[in-house]
Amino acid sequence: MNTATDQRVAAVAAGPSRYGLQELERLFRDAPAAVAWLGGPRHEYLFANEAYLRLVGERDLVGRTVGVALPELADQGFVQMLDAVYASGEAYVGSEVTVQLRGAGGGALQQRIVDFVFQPVRDDAARITGIFIQATDATQRVAAQEALRESEAKFRAITNSIDQMIWSTRADGFHDYYNDRWYEYTGVPYGTTDGEAWSGMFHPEDQKRAWAVWRHSLATGEPYHIEYRLRHRSGHYRWVLGRAQPLRDAAGGIVRWFGTCTDIQDIVDAREVLSRSREELERQVQLRTEQLLHAEEQLRQAHKMEAIGQLTGGIAHDFNNMLQGIVGALDVIRKLEATGRTGNIPRFVDMAMNSAQRAAAMTHRLLAFARQQPLAPQQVDLNALVQSLRELVRRTCGESITLATDLAPGVWPIRCDPNQLESAILNLAINARDAMPQGGSLTLRTANATLPRTQVGPADTLDAGDFVRLSVSDTGTGMPPDVIERAFDPFFTTKPIGQGTGLGLSMVYGFARQSGGFALIESREGEGTSVSILLPRYEGDAADGPLVQPAPADLVQGRGEIIVVVEDDEIVRTLAVETLSGLGYAVHAAASGPEGAQLLNALGPVDLLLTDIGLPGGVSGKQLADAARATRPGLKVILITGYAQEAMDTDLVAQKFELLRKPVLIDVLLRKVQEVLARR
């Protein structure tokens, strides 16, 4: 037995036997609450259990008065409190009283929160002989209660600070909390929609459906999601979106549900607008068009004057030259035909076609720097593609420039549009040639590269992964830092007006970013420039697609296959219908998405749908194809576009949709039609 216990036993032995202190000691020694017994008016400790000793810092108490054993209590008025209890004979109950106690070893005072009772003890003659103390350390409980109150206050502050209606239920679905927005929105008194009363706020036609969905969520634990009409404080019913998610404990059991109600009346009204008459829709479209035109005008006003100058000087100059080639050649062809001299017509047709193709290439560059060009990505062997372009690059650069290649062995296949990559390489080669007016050397290099996540712009990052680097390096004049900083900007060029549009490098950068990679420039004045394109590694199987396109097959006569052509441009539509009909196909045409849908519904089996993506009438070519596939799963589809945001955002390969980019040669169109129809 330790010293404190010896003292307690000695005190018990010395005291009057009629109190039964030995029995009380055995009863209270291991009690969880702190228990002590004070004797006489000086409040001398006769007994203190282990819990009490822990509370006061494991100090020796028995045989000592409270004022001596625990002097800090005297300073806090507790001895006076004991005196009052001893003198009056009335018990004192303290609840959550703050007490300063020293820790074990006489350390600094520590604040504790204690619940206690000072109970007077009387002898057989009803005389007060001491005080019985029972105390409980409530510090943690009070802290937990305060934390809970703080948490609840924060929860209410958060839920009442947002515009949505917030509600919560018990695990069984009993509604017991709504934020202020709920009562402000509905206008009902606080607490009147607790429990099942909330359903009375629903529109009578929605109550049964809403309850069924709610019961299903309660039974399965699935999130609650429904639209229904809720009575507004105005007395009218408004559409709201109800959502709820369960809160689960560590074992996965649901302990509460937290939900929201969001007013969606404006969205519902918008849906109704979409279902109104065509005249109403046209008015809405006109209003939206005016808003877009106004926004576009504001954007145009925000362009830098330098960019506008480059646009008007470079683009207009080049397009006027191309239009002159087309218009002049057609005018000569008309005169030759009128005079019967048709022998020279093919030469002028070639001239017009050459100018038109140059205009198309310019359009593709404009789309490329905006990252809006429609791409046809596939597996590409970069080394093989560079080798195939070697002779073309050499001829483009001229005899004064030495061309070299440094192609790393084992370069990974990449995933990109090979035609656009070829255009990018040629653009870079032409820039390099112009930077070496006195001649020099041009080197095409390839190498594998594994990169971490990389910041490639103020708000543009490249995910980590495997890439293949293609570098086009020259020994030309190089670039100063301020030119490098702006080199990828659209319409920026150091060439005189009329000799460059400023689209070459921006097209390269736009193509690289649209393909999932990026481009960078390394240059020093007088030492040359190196422009690198990094394109993502192809992760599919090597057999997923050929790296070299097969030679085009000869055109053959159709066998009456049924083709639906949907195109809003009358000239393009007429050309497609006439040429396809001339090959023996049964062609049906429409000028808008809704007309195309009506035509498909009226026809029986259809072999091919050939449609532009951008169509009037509110139904795009992509949407038309999706709807047609719903009833004709095996329908073959070719999409045509010049601006294909939808084509970029959709995995056309997975849907087995073919894509052609405008302008497209009629011969290419016909071959694509026959290629698709020939597939099983």
Question: Would residue 290 count as lying in a domain?
Answer: no
Q: What is the pTM of this model?
A: 0.36
Domain boundary (368, 392, 418) is at: 368
Please check whether residues 18 and 106 belong to one and the same domain.
Answer: yes
Residues 526 and 566 in one domain: no
Asked if pLDDT for residue 575 goes beyond 60, the answer is yes
Task: Kindly state whether residues 509 and 617 are assigned to the same domain.
Answer: no
Highest mean pLDDT among 69-78, 221-230, 383-392: 221-230
- The confidence score (pLDDT) of residue 364 equals 54
Are 328 and 383 members of one domain?
A: no
- 299 in a structural domain: no
The reply to whether 516 falls in a domain is yes
User: Does residue 41 have a pLDDT over 80?
Assistant: yes
> What per-residue confidence (pLDDT) applies to 419?
79
User: Can you give the pLDDT at residue 281?
Assistant: 67
Q: Which of 232-236, 240-244, 308-312 has the lowest mean pLDDT?
A: 308-312
Domain boundary among 219, 241, 269: 269
What is the domain-level CATH number for residue 641? 3.40.50.2300
Would 149 be classed as within a structural domain? no
Question: pLDDT tens across 304-345, in order?
Answer: 444 444 444 445 545 555 555 575 557 557 766 777 767 667
In a domain? residue 218: yes
State the distance between the two ends of the chain, measured CA to CA, in whole angstroms.
Answer: 96
For the chain, what is the largest distance between any 2 Cα atoms, rounded to a whole number of angstroms? 148
| Domain end residue (candidates: 324, 342, 368) | 368
Q: Return all residues near 7 (Cβ < 8 A) that are at least 6 apart.
A: 60, 62, 63
Residues 514-528, mean pLDDT to the nearest whole number: 85
pLDDT score for 502:
45
Asked whether residue 386 falls in the same domain as residue 364, the answer is: no
Listed range (118-127, 368-377, 413-422, 522-531) with the worst mean pLDDT: 368-377
Domain membership flag for residue 284: no
- Are 520 and 582 in the same domain? no
Q: Is 353 found in the same domain as 384?
A: no
Examine the pLDDT at 434 and tell me if it is beyond 70. Answer: yes
Q: Which residues contact 402 (CB under 8 A, 6 or more apart)?
A: 440, 441, 442
**Pick from 241, 310, 266: which is nearest to 496 by CA?**
310
Q: Is residue 176 part of a domain?
A: yes
Per-residue pLDDT tens over the stretch 638-680: 988 765 444 444 456 567 788 887 777 777 888 889 888 887 6
Look at residue 161 in the predicted model and tell me its pLDDT.
77
Counting the structural domains of the chain, the total is 5
Shared domain for 662 and 577, answered yes or no, is yes
Give the residue from 310, 312, 353, 347 showing the smallest Cα distance to 332.
347
CATH number at residue 136: 3.30.450.20
Query: Does the structure show a pLDDT above 80 at 621?
Result: yes
Does one domain contain both 396 and 523?
A: yes
Candidates 625, 627, 626, 631; CA nearest to 610 is 625
pLDDT confidence of 106, banded at 50, 70, 90? Answer: low
The pLDDT score that the predictor gives to residue 457 is 63
Residue range 428-432: mean pLDDT, rounded = 85
> Which helix or strand (DSSP H or E) is residue 473 part of?
strand 465-474
Question: How confident is the model over 166-202, as pLDDT tens digits?
Answer: 999 999 989 988 988 899 999 999 888 888 888 888 9
Here the tokens at position 314 are: 């470079």
Least confident of 6-15, 156-165, 611-620: 6-15
Contacts of 210 (CB under 8 A, 6+ apart): 199, 202, 226, 228, 242
How much is the pLDDT for 213? 93
Residues 413 and 500 in one domain: yes
Residues 393 and 529 in one domain: yes
Residue 8 structure tokens:
């307690």
Q: Give residue 629's domain range.
A: 562-678
465 occurs within a structural domain? yes
pLDDT at res. 278: 66
Asked whether residue 8 falls in the same domain as residue 63, the answer is yes
Count Cβ atoms within 10 A of the Cβ of residue 547 and give its class: 0-12 exposed, 13-18 middle, 19 or more buried. Answer: middle
Higher pLDDT, 273 or 243: 243
Per-residue pLDDT, 369: 43
Joined together, the tokens standing for residue 51 give 């819990």
